[in-house]
Amino acid sequence: MAAEAPPTDPRWQRVAWFAAAAVLALWGLVQARDFFHDDAFITLRYVARWLAGRGPTWNDGEHVEGYSHPLWMLQLSALGVTGASLVDAARALGVVYLVALFVLWWRSGAWSVPLLLAATTPGLLLWTRGGLEGVSFTFWLCLGAWLVTRALEAPSRDARRAGALAGAALAAAALTRPEGALLGPLALLWLVLARAPRRTCLLLLLTFALPLLLWEAFRIIYYDDWLPNVARVKLGAPLAVQLGAALRYLRFNLRAWLP
C-alpha cells in the first residue's frame, strides 16, 4: 500500500512560497539574534571539558551524564576541535539545520504551505539561535518521515535503501532528543501495517537500533547508568506536576501558536 502523494504546487508557486518562508525566517532570526538559552551552557561545559582532555564530564572524578542530546554534543565537540567559539558553533549549527530543513522540503517535493508555517513558528526560530537541539531534532524527524514514505513508494531496491536510511535518520533523532526513541518503533509499525517488504522493515530496525545500542553500551560503561541523569530528574516528578508544567507551557506559548 503506497503512501498518498502530498499536494504539489506549480514551480513558480513553490519558489514564491519558499522565498516568502526564507525572508520571514531570516527576519525572525534577526529578532532572535541575542537569544541564547542558559541550559545550552550545560552542554558547552561538557564539550569544553572533553576538548580539554577531561572527558564528557561536569566535574573531575565524577561521570554523570547531565545532558540528553549526545549527537548534538558530539557535533559541537567536532566544531570545537577547530578552535571556534562554542557559543558561535552552537548558533551556527542551528542555522545549518534550519537551512537543511528548507533543502529537505524542496528536495522531497512536499507541499510548500506547511514550510511557511514552520518557518514562522517563533519557537523554531528561537531555538535556531538558542544553542540547543530543537531544530536539529526537527530536521532528523522530517528526514526520517520522508524516507519512510520513500520506502513505501519506491521500487524494491530503492525501498530497501530508503528503509535503511530512514532507520539511521530516526536513530539520529533519538540521539538528539530522548523522546525520539519512540520514532523507530512507530515507523516500523507503519511499514508493517502498510505491508512493506520484510527486508525493508529489517533494515530500518537494524539501522535504528544499532546506534542506540552502541550509545547505551557506552553510557552503561562510562556513566554506570542506563538513563541520563536529566531523565531521572524529570521522571522522578509526580505525573500531576509534569502535566501542570505542560499546561503552563502551552498557555504561555498560546499567543505564538494561534496565529
- The pTM of this model reads 0.88
Q: pLDDT tier at 113 (50, 70, 90 boundaries)?
A: confident
CA distance 187 to 190: 5
Cα 77 from chain centroid (whole Å): 17
Q: How far is CA 185 from CA 9, 23, 101, 172, in A?
A: 32, 37, 23, 14
Stronger pLDDT, 238 or 103, i.e. the higher one: 103
| Mean pLDDT value across residues 58-71 | 93
Q: Helix, strand or coil for residue 49?
A: helix
C-alpha cell at 56: 564528557
Query: What is residue 72's predicted lDDT score, i.e. its pLDDT?
Result: 97
pLDDT given for residue 234 in this prediction: 74
Residue 117 — pLDDT band, cuts 50, 70, 90?
A: confident
The DSSP 8-state label assigned to residue 132 in this structure reads S
Spatial CA neighbour of 145 closest among 165, 116, 124: 165
- Residues 78-94 have pLDDT tens digits of 999 999 899 999 999 99
- 130 vs 237: which has the higher pLDDT: 130
Is residue 53 left, alpha or beta, with left meaning phi > 0 and alpha meaning psi from -120 to 50?
Answer: left
pLDDT tens-digit series, residues 4-51: 555 566 788 889 999 999 999 999 999 888 999 999 999 999 999 999
